[in-house]
Every structure is written in C-alpha cells, then in structure tokens.
Amino acid sequence: MRQIVLDTETTGLSAEGGDRIIELGCVELFARKLTGNNLHFYFNPERDSHEDALKVHGISNEFLRDKPKFAQLTDEILDYIADAELIIHNAAFDVGFLNKELERVGKKPLKAYVSGVIDTLAMAKEMFPGKRNSLDSLCDRLEVDNSGRTLHGALLDAELLADVYINMTRGQEALLIDAGDAPSDSKTVVIATDLSQFVLPVLSANAQEVAAHEEVLQQLDKSSGGKTVWRQMQLA
C-alpha cells in the first residue's frame, strides 16, 4: 500500500477566515518503508502570517514573496498524492486548509483524490488516553529523535510523523505479506491454529495502578463538569 505522510504550515489557524498554506511536506511510505520519494513546497500565500504563527514556524513573509502560488502547483500535488492513503496528525486542520486551497482553484475536495485519511492524533488518543499526544510528546514516548525540531517545518514534521506512525503500528508488520517474494504460480496455504491450547494470564491491577486510574477518571470528570458517562450512570 502506498501511503503519504503529510503536514502543512499556514499563515494562521483559520482557513475559512482567509489564512493560507505556506508550506507542504510529504513523505512517501510503500509497504511501511520510506522510499525517499518526498514532496516539499513553499508557497506565496498572498498575505502575511499572523505573529503567533511566525513564532511557530519561523518562515518570514519576505522569504515567501518569490515562491510559487498554490494554484501553480496544484496539479503536481494532486498527481503525487493520487490514490494514496494520507497520514496526518490532527487531520481536520490540514484537510480543512487543503480543501480551501482546492476550492479556490475549482478543484474537488481532497477526499476525491485519495483512498483515505488516517489521523494519528485520533490514534494516539485511543492508544494513550489521558496523556499529551502532540508530535513532540509522541516522539519522546516512542523514542523518535526530534532533537532537530526547534521550529515547526512541514517536511521535518512529516518525516518525524512517519517514524511515529511506524512505531505506533509496529504490531501490524506480522500481518503484511509481500506478494513479490512469492512466485506467481504459487498457492497460498492456510494453516489452522487451535487457539484453545493457549491460556492467557489475567493480570489484576495493583493498588498503585488502581489509584492512578482513579486519578485520571477524576481529572476527566472535572474537565467535563461532571458530564462523563460514568458519572451519569452513577446518578441514574
């Protein structure tokens, strides 16, 4: 499967409010391996970046003045991502900006060109509930070297996210079969395994783990104003 790890930098936080993409970074994965076939562009957004955005990405307005506009590179970008599965951290943000840029040049929304989108932020929240799941936090947790990341950059962040995604989904490697390793006339042999021979141990939480779990529940309950599901069930 061809996957594209994608990240953008923008002039601000609101695509609907007129903010624009200033940088696009894409890293290609094929069969979960980096291919080196990456894509990286800077764009002239035809407006200045907000001061807060400049602090995040450090890309000056002057640097972008002579860069091509998104419209000039749209077809090349769509050809590159065509039929691939996109991997994006906080996908709603980047997809929203890309859809707005495509709308400006009379193109269909992003979903019309790709096979799907994986949001690694949603994955991380499910895998690590109650923890910080920013890209930096995931790099630290999964031992991905992000020492070169002093400012946000679309290509660097896409490269880091590719490593993070591979680490987050490492258990899937056993499920992948490289059909190219087998002769075309070979037959697939399925071996049935009797799962009844395996006994899975049941490990009960110790007192410290129970206390830590209760603390997380209390924090979630507090942040939701007492509207958590378990609180409502208790009151029912």
| Single residue among 150, 180, 210 that ends a domain in this structure | 180
Judge whether 152 counts as a catalytic residue. Answer: yes
The parts of the chain modelled with pLDDT lower than 50 are: 174-184, 186
Q: Which residue range is the domain that position 229 belongs to?
A: 192-236
In sequence order, the 6+-apart residues with CB closer than 8 A to the CB of 145 are 139
User: Within a domain: residue 147?
Assistant: yes
Predicted pLDDT of residue 194: 61
39 and 147 in a single domain? The answer is yes
CATH number of domain containing 65: 3.30.420.10
Q: Is residue 72 a part of any domain in this protein? A: yes
Q: What's the confidence (pLDDT) of residue 175?
A: 46
Q: What are the DSSP calls for 35-83, one per residue?
A: -S--EEEE---SSPPPHHHHHHH---HHHHTTSPPHHHHHHHHHHHHTT
pTM for this prediction: 0.72
State whether residue 2 is helix, strand or coil.
strand
Same domain, yes or no, for 149 and 198?
no
* Statement to judge: residues 130 and 199 lie in one domain: no
186 occurs within a structural domain: no
The number of distinct structural domains making up the chain is 2
Angle at 136 between CA 130 and CA 142, to 5 degrees: 75
Instruction: Supply the pLDDT for residue 177.
Output: 43
124 and 211, same domain (yes or no): no
Whether residues 28 and 75 share a domain: the answer is yes
- Least Cα distance to 48 among 10, 92, 100, 84 occurs for 10
Q: What is the pLDDT of residues 131-178, one digit of tens each?
A: 999 999 999 999 999 887 766 889 999 999 999 999 999 876 544 444
Selecting among 40, 89, 152, 213, the annotated active-site residue is 152
Same domain, 137 and 229: no
Does residue 136 share a domain with residue 64?
Answer: yes
